[in-house]
Amino acid sequence: MENLVRKAEALAERYGVSYYEIRITRVTASHLSIRNGQLDELSLNAEMGIGVRAFNGAWGFSSANDMTRAEEAIKTAMKIAKLSRGDSRIHLGDPVRERAEIKVRKPFTDIEVEDKLTLVKEIDSLLEGERIVSRETAYGDGLKEQLYFNSLGSEIETVVPRVRVGFSVTARENGEMQTYWRYFGGTAGWELVEDIDFPHWAELVKEKALSLLHARSPPSGEFEIIMDPELTGVFIHEALGHAVEADSVKNGDSILAGKLGERIAVEGLTVVDDPTLPGKYGSYVYDDEGIRGKRVEIIRDGVLVNYLNDRETSALLGLEPNGHGRAQGYAYQPLVRMSNTYVEPGSWSLEEMLEEVKNGLYMAGDKGGQVDTASGTFTFGATEGYIIENGEIKDMVRDVAMSGSILEVLRNIRAVGKELRVEFPGYCGKGQVVPVDDGGPHLLTRALVGGLR
Amino acid sequence: MNSSVETLVSILERENVEWELYWEAGRGGSFRIERERLERSQRKFYSGMGLRVGYNGRLGFSYITGLNHDRKTLEEFVKRAVKLARVSEILFRGFPAPSKVPRVDGLYDRRIEDIPFEEAHSLAEEFAGKMRELKGDSLTLSGSLALGVNSYGVANSSGVFLEGRSTGMSVSAYAVVEGTRPGTGYHYQSYRSLQPLEELGRSIALAREEALLSSAAERLEPFSGELVLEPSAFQSLLGIFLENLYGDSVYFGRSRFSGTGEEVAGEAVTLVDDPTLPGLPGSYPFDGEGTPGRRTVLIEKGLLRNFLLDHTYGSFLGMESTSNAVRDFRTVPHIGTSNLVVEPGKERLEDYEGVVVRRVFGEHTANPVSGDFSLTVELGYVIKNGELRPFRDNMLTGNVFEVLRSVSSVGRESVREGSFISPRVLTVGRIV
């Protein structure tokens, strides 16, 4: 290690590199999946690799997963930086020396693989049932130990555990098929798994899949929609989160560029991205640029007050760095990414919200989404829904996606619920995949619904 | 043969197990251009070996990074995989036996393997320069360029021993027209051989053209009826449908289908998976298990003919592998597509007057088993009396099984986007 530091210093001098950073990562992971009672995957692996980034007005990056090539990776990144000679600037800041470990009650590395196997088998058997034609359960954990150092003299050691477990069923009747699922996860240990009431959730998942078989497709057109906390999460992630990632602002790819300080949403709407929330799936202490992750208020009372940034975008836009440069792994360069994104609670009860809706939809559950940040159009899917007529919840509807324009939908929010839930772990793709969480309270807004009726 | 592979084989041959080794080593250079400036350049190296072990009808898997290890490390690696096979409970269905592998030309271009990084960097600089030439006051251009080389091999205890190498290049361009109503355009293409600057320029031109259309686009009034899907939009819908053809989905009852022969599309539709096409990004002479690459007709004149299978799920279903085992050294094989080809038809749909959908997004929100989808239209247009009116931000909704069955004609001229090759298709749909 000492040797690599010295080597990097000498090479930086030789190639005239003004800044560099090195990440050496070791991930110990286990994955198990079972389908219809048949074990499908069981893998226990550890992997180590190095990623090196060097800056000379533009970035040079190199990575290797064979540690005998570590020095070569350092040299390659520096050579590329020398070749690149751009004129961008980055935030440097003071050196940081710290060991930051996200502590858990029961490390999953201490749990025998046999116990993990028992868990997936138990869940699988709970999912059995009439008209349930297919069931899947997946368990995964990973301990990421990372050593970060840079040319400023920072030396940061981080230890982040992540665990995720989820299951799905497919129900079939008279040629109709429907699937329903549930995922749990966090920066936690085995205690997360022990605290889940699997029999309860297995029953719920089966019941939902079966009732969806009889649900109709929703009507299509513009409707008032009440989103549940899970859907609020995916909505705010897609409709706002991606457009406030400052690399898209920098690249002329965000409809929210130049709008800091402007009112872009209704009063009363506050949106936060917070990697410091304890135990959440998108949490971390330091990002992959050696900057401490900070809670960021993106929208405060309807006004756009901040972007999520990294070393480069904070320098360019003159903003305080907030530690949102995240990489999928050692073989990837950090990009500006979200962590745990949510809408702060307001004052409305669900009953009060329902009373506001004459003809609309109550939509629940996250099926993911996508956004075109430049044009401001986004889409997101709900796993289930219900027709609302004159303030009352009526028939169940299925398979629905909604679409809208960022600026319109944020202004169309009419009510923010009072109960907050941030517990919907998932992954966000942007060329690279990183774990995130999101949520919020119930939200009442308008969107374009694409149903088949 | 790499010496670690040789040592591993000799260690494995002494064990009383069946085994399969997959190894690869490669490197890649890639470049990102942001607002016409080359901002991020990178060069990555990777290598590793994945080992599957079959013991007493059970399967174990483990991988190790790097291809240069001492004997002790390799012995421990084998021990780990064997131990997992003993506890795993994953059913083991044997490994493929050797058989003749087809010759697939055009998968390797020495110029990509030999290009010095500095030259690749210069090409990326020229690509950025081309963008600077073409940008306008309200138009910004970004993009990426990547080059890679990979060598790989698979060996098993049934006697398979195959090695191969391939190269790849990909280019993308992204255009944004700023203004009160910003428009975006995108183009991506991948190749097996080194491409000249003109080809990169073509990518920029196509992205730019699309962004200009997009910035002029408005929302279309709701529409229901006959419409044309351009290859990109058709690919999005086919992707939802295809989840039902993966052998594991069929085996575990997560597919709409349990057998072949059913009428699933209009008579004009023939869909083929073909890894043996020369020079294409999805081509290979053998798949991740060493099964020789073969052409598989998935839909023939509207009838479902085949599923996509690897050795394991082929065996579970009493069928043969269709050579669709996809993997890297970190993973066990899983089922995937190679090149997907929609066979051209007889119509000249290029002259079609009416509603045309070019690009949609949000496929992952669709439900593959019910087939229902509602996707955002990123770009479409209406042509009437030769006049073109672009639209976007509507949703294209429907049921994928119905849309496929409603395909009444397929165009004559195919377009390739990566490993997807298709003409336009005429079907019935709904825009809301």
What is the interface pTM, i.e. ipTM, of the complex?
0.91
Mean pLDDT across chain A = 95
Task: Count, in order, helices (H) and strands (E) of chain A.
Answer: 10, 22
Q: Read out DSSP for A271-323?
A: EEE-TTSTT-TT--SB-TTS-B---EEEEETTEE---B--HHHHHHHT----S
End-to-end CA distance of chain B: 59
- Shared-domain flag, residues A2 and A144: yes
CB neighbour burial string for A62-100, b if at least 16 within 10 angstroms, e if fewer = bbbbbeebbbbbbbbbbbbbebbebebebbeeeebeeeb
Query: pLDDT grade, residue A66 (50/70/90)?
Result: confident
Domain of residue A41: give its range.
Answer: 1-213
In the prediction, which pLDDT does A400 show? 84
- Find, among A55, A47, A56, the residue nearest to A26 by Cα: A47
pTM as predicted = 0.94
* Cβ atoms of residues A385 and A394 within 8 Å: no
Write out pLDDT tens, residues A282-308.
999 999 999 999 999 999 999 999 999
Q: What is the DSSP letter of A243?
A: G
CB neighbour burial string for A243-269, b if at least 16 within 10 angstroms, e if fewer = bbbbbbbbbbbbbbbebbeeebbbeeb
- Shared-domain flag, residues A156 and A282: no
- Shared-domain flag, residues A119 and A203: yes
- The A residues from 33 to 92 touching B (CB cutoff 8 Å) are 35-36, 38-45, 47-49, 58-69, 72-73, 76-77, 79-80, 83-84, 86, 88
Shortest Cα distance, chain A CAs vs residue B28, angstroms: 10
- The CA distance from B363 to B251, in Å, is 23
Write out pLDDT tens, residues A6-15.
999 999 999 9
**Which residues of chain A are within 8 Å of residue B27 when distances are taken between CB atoms?**
none
Tell me, what amino acid is at A322? N
- Shared-domain flag, residues A204 and A233: no
Q: Quick check: helix, strand or coil at residue A145?
A: strand
Contact at CB, B372 and A217, closer than 8 angstroms: yes
Q: Which two tokens stand for residue A400?
A: 């629905």
In the prediction, which pLDDT does A345 show? 98
* Cβ atoms of residues A406 and A236 within 8 Å: no
**Which one of B60, B61, B214 has the shortest CB-CB distance to A375?**
B214
The runs of H, that is alpha helices, within A196-271 are: 198-212, 229-239, 246-250
- The CA distance from A323 to B430, in Å, is 44
- The CA distance from B95 to B101, in Å, is 16
- Shared-domain flag, residues A304 and A160: no
Q: Quick check: helix, strand or coil at residue A263?
A: strand
Cβ-based neighbours of B243, under 8 Å, separated by 6 or more: B249, B255, B368
- The CA distance from A138 to A181, in Å, is 11
Q: Which two tokens stand for residue A255?
A: 């409809």
Q: Quick check: helix, strand or coil at residue B13?
A: helix
- The CA distance from B293 to B299, in Å, is 18
- The A residues from 278 to 337 touching B (CB cutoff 8 Å) are 331, 333
Domain B3-213 has CATH 3.30.2290.10: yes
Domain ranges of chain B: 3-213, 214-237+344-431, 244-336
* Cβ atoms of residues B187 and B170 within 8 Å: no
Shortest Cα distance, chain B CAs vs residue A349, angstroms: 28
Tell me, what amino acid is at B334? H
**Which residues of chain A are within 8 Å of residue B63 when distances are taken between CB atoms?**
45
Under-50 pLDDT residues of chain B: none
The CA-atom distances, in angstroms, between A349 and each of A228, A265, A387 are 12, 20, 18
Contact at CB, A220 and B372, closer than 8 angstroms: no
The CA-atom distances, in angstroms, between B249 and each of A35, B89, B161 are 10, 20, 30
Count other C-beta atoms under 10 Å from residue A123's C-beta: 24
- The CA distance from B156 to B23, in Å, is 12
Burial of A272 (0-12, 13-18, 19+ CB in 10 A): buried
Last residue of a domain, one of A185, A213, A241: A213
Shortest Cα distance, chain A CAs vs residue B116, angstroms: 12
Burial of A200 (0-12, 13-18, 19+ CB in 10 A): exposed
- The CA distance from B309 to B340, in Å, is 14
pLDDT of A85 higher than 90: no
Looking at the structure of chain A, the number of domains it has is 2
Cβ-based neighbours of A46, under 8 Å, separated by 6 or more: A26, A27, A28, A29
Q: What is the DSSP letter of A68?
A: G
Which residue of A lies nearest to B142 if distances are taken between CA atoms? A251
Q: Which two tokens stand for residue A45?
A: 């692996």
In the prediction, which pLDDT does B136 show? 86
* Cβ atoms of residues B292 and B99 within 8 Å: yes
In the prediction, which pLDDT does B181 show? 82
Q: Read out DSSP for B60-106?
A: EEEEEE-S---HHHHHHHHHHHHHHHHH---B----PPP-PPPP--S
**Which residues of chain B are within 8 Å of residue A171 when distances are taken between CB atoms?**
none
What residues pair up with A86 in beta bridges, in sequence order? Answer: none
Q: Residue A15: CA atoms inside 13 Å, Cβ hemisphere, count?
A: 25
- Shared-domain flag, residues A161 and A249: no
Contact at CB, A39 and B399, closer than 8 angstroms: no
Write out pLDDT tens, residues A228-280.
999 999 999 999 999 999 999 998 889 999 999 999 999 999 999 999 999 99
pLDDT of A397 higher than 80: yes
- Provide φ and ψ at A29, rounded to 5°: -135, 155
**Which one of A67, A221, A331 has the shortest CB-CB distance to B432?**
A221
Write out pLDDT tens, residues B24-45.
999 999 999 999 999 999 999 9
Tell me the Ramachandran region of residue B230: left when phi exceeds 0, alpha when psi lies from -120 to 50, beta otherwise. Answer: beta
- Provide φ and ψ at B371, rounded to 5°: 90, -5
* Cβ atoms of residues A17 and A55 within 8 Å: yes
A–B CB contacts, 8 A cutoff, strictly below? 243
**Which residues of chain B are within 8 Å of residue A325 when distances are taken between CB atoms?**
none
In the prediction, which pLDDT does A452 show? 76
In the prediction, which pLDDT does A17 show? 95
What residues pair up with A132 in beta bridges, in sequence order? Answer: A171
**Which residues of chain A are within 8 Å of residue B117 when distances are taken between CB atoms?**
76, 79-80, 83
**Which residues of chain B are within 8 Å of residue A372 when distances are taken between CB atoms?**
184, 361, 378
Tell me, what amino acid is at B12? L
- The CA distance from B64 to B330, in Å, is 8
Q: Read out DSSP for A2-46?
A: HHHHHHHHHHHHHHT-SEEEEEEEEEEEEEEEEETTEEEEEEEEE
Shortest Cα distance, chain B CAs vs residue A42, angstroms: 6
In the prediction, which pLDDT does A1 show? 72
Q: Which two tokens stand for residue A27?
A: 């991930």
- Shared-domain flag, residues A186 and A265: no
* Cβ atoms of residues B214 and B392 within 8 Å: yes
- The CA distance from A173 to B369, in Å, is 12
Contact at CB, B65 and A47, closer than 8 angstroms: yes
In the prediction, which pLDDT does B405 show? 98
**Which one of A35, A39, A253 has the shortest CB-CB distance to B252?**
A35
Taking each helix axis from N to C terminus, what angle separates B71-87 and B3-14, rounded to the nearest 10 degrees? 50
Which residue of A lies nearest to B361 if distances are taken between CA atoms? A370
Query: pLDDT grade, residue A450 (50/70/90)?
Result: confident
pLDDT of A411 higher than 80: yes
**Which residues of chain B are within 8 Å of residue A398 when distances are taken between CB atoms?**
367, 370, 372
